[in-house]
Amino acid sequence: MLRRVLTSPQAGLVAIILLLGAVLTATAGTHVDQRTGLLVNNFLNSYTLIQTATDASFFAIMAVGATIVIIAGGIDLSVGAVYALAGVATAMVLRGMGSTDPITAVLLGLAISIGIGLLSGAINGALVVGLDVHPFIVTLGTMWILRGIAFVSSGAESILLPRPVTEVAKASLGLGDALYPVPMLVMLVITVLGSVFLTQTVGGRRVFAVGGSQEASRFSGVPVGRVKIGVFVLSGFTAGVAAFMGASFYGSASCADATGYELYVIASAVVGGASLSGGKGSAVNALLGAVLIVLIRQSIRTLHFDQNYEWIIIGCAIIMAVVFDQASARFATRRLAAATRR
């Protein structure tokens, strides 16, 4: 049992996260809690840990969908723009409706965000399959188009969301003031659903098959076109969920929301072990990759490094992850070849 845990795909990421967490705990310092009078570590406390998870949740949710796209051999650069458009559309509709029932506002807001995400994902998938153009080019184009629509429709202003919607995202669930676990819980639910889809369903096996070899999948009767469209729809769905949670949590939405999230989302997937050549990846690893990236950002602030180095460090992490993945694949191929010769 222990050997299986230690050799699992998640073991290395968990070990790095624990090591980084230990470094942050040792270097963060302490403060006196004004309510209890006890000495509290600046990092290893409930507020900071939940806040760290919250910071990771908005792009970790999207990373699960983006990982499914990457496993199928594609890539989605438009997730940040989908997030922005879904958030802006939700805020504009709810503002236009004015005062309404809290439950109706929440359900309508969620429906609009997810609807925009699903529609955007379907458009991405249809363009990739219908035009037979590489998804990098298609989603690069739709990234600019969708963010432009968000800019024009909102007039570049920040739009407030109704208080009932914000109260849902910031519900304490009995944990006390300033502790908001809802985004973290949604992140965990999306990760579980993504993992079940990839590992326990026929659709998930088809995604891995298409990413491994499109030609072999086609000859095996797998509807490659539908699978490709489907993975982009799932990516749009996760972007819509993340947009609703992000806009609700912060209480407003604007066309500039999630700018640069494409880097974080793809980095989370790649650092989590997803292969950009397709056929390999995990929803759980995408979550762990997102947490690791947030901890790297936290380390830069805690150790008082220049925050401008954040992009450099994350870029290096992506390159190292890809190099490690390729080296691991070559090693596995050589070991298989050697075993066959015997």
Task: Report d(CA 12, CA 321) in Å as an integer.
Answer: 12
Domains in the chain: ranges and CATH: 15-44 (no CATH), 56-341 (1.10.3470)
Tell me the residue type at 50.
I
CA distances from 268 to 109, 111, 131, 143 (A): 27, 26, 29, 19
pLDDT in tens, the chain (342 residues): 555 555 566 777 888 888 888 888 888 788 787 777 778 888 888 888 888 888 899 989 999 999 999 999 999 999 999 999 999 999 999 998 876 788 888 999 999 999 999 999 999 999 999 999 999 999 999 999 999 999 999 988 999 999 889 998 898 887 777 788 999 999 999 999 999 999 999 999 999 999 999 999 999 899 999 999 999 999 999 999 999 999 999 999 999 999 888 888 998 898 888 888 888 899 999 999 999 888 888 787 777 777 777 778 777 877 777 777 667 667 766 776 776 766
Give the pLDDT score at 45: 82
The string of DSSP codes covering 271-335 is: HTT--TTSS---HHHHHHHHHHHHHHHHHHHHTT--TTHHHHHHHHHHHHHHHHHHHHHHHHHHH
- CB atoms < 10 A from the CB of 127, how many? 19
Task: Report d(CA 285, CA 44) in Å as an integer.
Answer: 23
3-class secondary structure, 1: coil
Task: Report d(CA 153, CA 281) in Å as an integer.
Answer: 36
Task: Report d(CA 264, CA 112) in Å as an integer.
Answer: 24
Give the pLDDT score at 90: 95
Give the pLDDT score at 9: 62
pTM for this prediction: 0.89
Give the largest Cα separation in the chain, rounded.
Answer: 75
CA 275 from chain centre, in angstroms, equals 16
